Structure 1
Amino acid sequence: MADRPPILIVFGGLPGTGKTTVSRGLTRRLAATYLRIDAIEQTLRAGGQAIGPMGYTIANALAAENLELGRVVIADCVNPVQASREGWRKTALHRSARLVEIEVICSDVALHRQRVQSRTSDIDGLSLPTWDEIVSRQYEPWDRDHLLLDTANGSLDHLIEQAETYVRDEIG
């Protein structure tokens, strides 16, 4: 992907759908810069700071700096509301970057629940949300075209390949 404008790839989806696994795989394939909201927010919590929108604000600032360097940046976040999606869109626009949006779902409710209930945190001190917290969470529908990856169908390699193909098609 050399000699291209910077690219911001934003993953979103409920916790436990597999977005971190897929976004990390794509990060490796593209040798991209990886930003994970969970890591930023947990660092803020550990420092005694309030979270609110601050994790997304910091991540957008880090993305902007890396886009300015011409990097491919992958943001791994729940991205549950239009306001957070608009933040990413503005960051891409202000850095003349191509924006690619990918939503990760798990259409098999039993599988999604099993994943949520059996996973452990890979971030020190981070308490993962419960199934009840996830299903009662505010999550607004997306308002424009994006790739929808369903982790209930296909292997991890296939999902990463789908994401990579979509990115390449979107950036031309």
Structure 2
Amino acid sequence: MIPGEGDLIDDVRRAFAEMTITAPPVTVIDGRGWTFVQIDTIVYSDDTPQTLTTTVGGTPVEIRATPVEWRWDFGDKTKPLTTTKPGGPYPDKTVTHVYTRLGTYTVTLTTTWQGQWRLVGETQWRDVDGQNTTTSTSEPFTTHEIRTRLVTPPG
């Protein structure tokens, strides 16, 4: 350990906890604004790390935040779903939800971020103790119902 490294680590931990992380977007069925009840509704986000270059305790450092967990609240009073992947657009069905009632909903996503840091110019990242979280919401969307009926063929 270099002299003062313990203080630097404490300062980095505080900087990571206070770091402004841009919340990743929430996409529901590719943003079309509606979905059907009683079928899988695909939701997804992003897993791109974010890096901040700053000075901590007089030392230039880079702090990187990497998303590690996504907690999806689907807005319909069901239990939230926690995943370790952000999902993806169709045909990826990693993160889905079935709505059972007609209505207008928004999905709220709480993303948990793990931090790493390094001195500017170094190549090796070191882990930061602690985590950071962000919250984002989807655009409102509505659910629709498909109804079928049997008819007598003409003729």
TM-score bin (small chain) = under 0.3
Q: Structure 1 or 2: larger strand share?
A: 2
Task: Tell me which structure has the larger Cα radius of gyration.
Answer: 2
Q: Structure 1 or 2: larger helix share?
A: 1
- Relative contact order: is structure 1 or structure 2 higher (C-alpha 8 Å, sep ≥ 6)? 1
TM-score, length-normalised on structure 2? 0.24
TM-score, length-normalised on structure 1? 0.23
